[in-house]
Each structure stands twice: as C-alpha cells, then as structure tokens.
C-alpha cells in the first residue's frame, strides 16, 4: 500500500490535485484536515491518499 499526504493553501488547488490523484488510482483516506497558521490569517488543507502498490507499472493486490 502506498500512502501520501497532500497539502495545499487553497481548496481549489486541493480539489484539482485530489481529482488528478483519483484518476491515477489513488483513493482519499478519511476526510480533509485544516490547520490555521497562528501568525497569519491563512489556512492549510491536507488530504491523505492511498493506493495499492504497483509492480512493473501495473496495480496489483497482495
């Protein structure tokens, strides 16, 4: 199983990247997380993604 966490500073960028990852075989794992930067008014958005491992470029299941 492959696992990664995507992080973005806008929801638009997050939505685009998550959609692209889904097209490439990734699945969102759980909901999004949001963190506020205490020194600014900015937020960070996170989405965990998983997919089955690949072998020779093809997906395979253990």
What is the number of structural domains in the chain? 1
**Looking at residue 62, what is its pLDDT?**
45
The string of pLDDT tens digits covering residues 28-56 is 999 999 999 889 889 999 999 999 976 66
Report yes or no on 6 lying in a domain. yes
CA pair distance 30, 17, nearest whole angstrom: 16
Residue 38 domain boundaries = 2-54
The pLDDT of residue 60 is above 80: no
Q: Are 9 and 42 in contact (CB under 8 A)?
A: yes
Report yes or no on 25 lying in a domain. yes
Q: Tell me how many degrees the CA angle 7-9-10 measures, rounded to the nearest 5.
A: 110
DSSP lists the bridge partners of residue 51 as 2
Report yes or no on 60 lying in a domain. no
Report yes or no on 43 lying in a domain. yes
Alpha-helix runs per DSSP H in the chain:
11-23
User: Model-level pTM?
Assistant: 0.77
Q: Are 30 and 38 in contact (CB under 8 A)?
A: no
The string of pLDDT tens digits covering residues 5-30 is 999 999 999 999 999 999 999 999 99
């Amino acid at each position: 199983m492959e696992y990664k966490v995507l992080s973005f500073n806008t929801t638009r960028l997050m939505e685009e990247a998550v959609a692209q990852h889904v097209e490439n075989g990734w699945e969102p794992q759980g909901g999004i997380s949001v963190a506020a930067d205490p020194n600014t008014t900015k937020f960070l958005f996170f989405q965990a993604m998983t997919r089955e491992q690949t072998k020779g470029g093809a997906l395979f299941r253990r």
